[in-house]
Amino acid sequence: MTDQTLFQPYTLGSVTLANRVVMAPLTRNRAGKGFVPTDLTVQYYAQRASAGLLISEATQISQQGQGYQDTPGIYTQAQVEAWRKVTDAVHAKGGVIYLQLWHVGRISHVDLQAGGVAPVAPSPIRAQAKTFVNNGFADVSEPRALELGEIPGIIDDFRQAAANAIAAGFDGVEIHAANGYLLDQFAKDGANTRTDAYGGSVENRARLILEVTQAVAAEIGAERTGIRLSPASPANGISASDPQSQFDFIVERLDALGIVYIHVVEGATGGPRDVAPFDYEKLRRSFSNTYIANNGYDQALATRRIAEGKADLVAFGRPFIANPDLVGRFRHGTPLAALNPATLYGGGAEGYTDYPAANG
């Protein structure tokens, strides 16, 4: 008999999740004109609504925040209205869905920026990373450092995007502070060489993450605010000399803000879990609310970690692409389908909404 640990309901803030399985954010590069979700997007998320919690693909809070071709936004009325169709479809199937709020910082390209200007970053350090632009992969562009006076505008963009997400019917938001994007760039000294209030010390490098989180929680409620962190991941060319002290401090302060969850990428994003020494259990102990574990989990490891109290929920990414009924397959011991890597990014229904459920 299949262990039922993963299939128990769970209370997240003011909502009850049907199970402990989370669909992780997955960039698919299929937004329509105006960076709006399409009817295919509605179908895609509705197909996966059996997850206890769905977290949307990363969604830019402004045009400046965009780093990849054909990714959706949450800063125009048309985008809000299009996302409302997605949330309505997920709720009609009994699902719960959060929107992931995204500013990529230096992981962008001049061809995606208004007027072809340079992307922004904490410091003018070009990442050793690629982006998807003009229907192919290209090196990211050289960034410019944000001026001190621009930072309040970034914080307000996150706040307004959170308000827009709630207006679009989302149950909450996840602040993307992971994987080498803007907030992670500020936190890690490999990308942040500032000498002002947002650089240098652990406290200063944590400042933007905490100010954004405080603004979002004040706007929509801490019980609807989560955050994604990747303390040890080298994703998108990011590095840190002191990840344990940096993220111990960040998580302690996030706990004081009372937000509903931290979603932690354990190890290298999409890669080895043991890429660098890091005590994730210390983060778990430091945070009073929900801990979502992510990276390299299969059903057995997820079940064990929850049973041991080392996670409350577990997020699965790529398995959800080819298995819209992933929860059902886990429950019934059905083998998982393999995804087609050629259809991950861009395109239409193929490799997006045409993966069948095991039982049709």
Catalytic sites, residue numbers: 181
**At CA 99, angle to CA 42 and CA 247, rounded to 5?**
150
SS3 of residue 241 by DSSP:
coil
CA distances from 336 to 1, 125, 339 (A): 18, 41, 9
- 8 Å CB contact between 100 and 56: yes
**What is the enclosing helix (H) or strand (E) of 22?**
strand 21-23
Residue 73 pairs in a beta bridge with 60
Q: Could you give phi then psi for residue 213, rounded to 5 degrees?
A: -65, -40
Sequence-separated (6 or more) residues with CB below 8 Å from residue 285: none
97: tokens are 């869905």
Q: Position of tokens 């009817």? A: 39
195: tokens are 């000498």
Using only the alpha carbons of the chain, give its radius of gyration: 19
Give the dihedral sign, CA 93/98/99/104: negative
**At CA 286, angle to CA 205 and CA 60, rounded to 5?**
50
Burial category of 149 from C-beta neighbours within 10 Å (exposed 0-12, middle 13-18, buried 19 and up): exposed
CA distances from 105 to 61, 141, 144, 295 (A): 11, 11, 10, 23
Q: Position of tokens 């909404």? A: 353
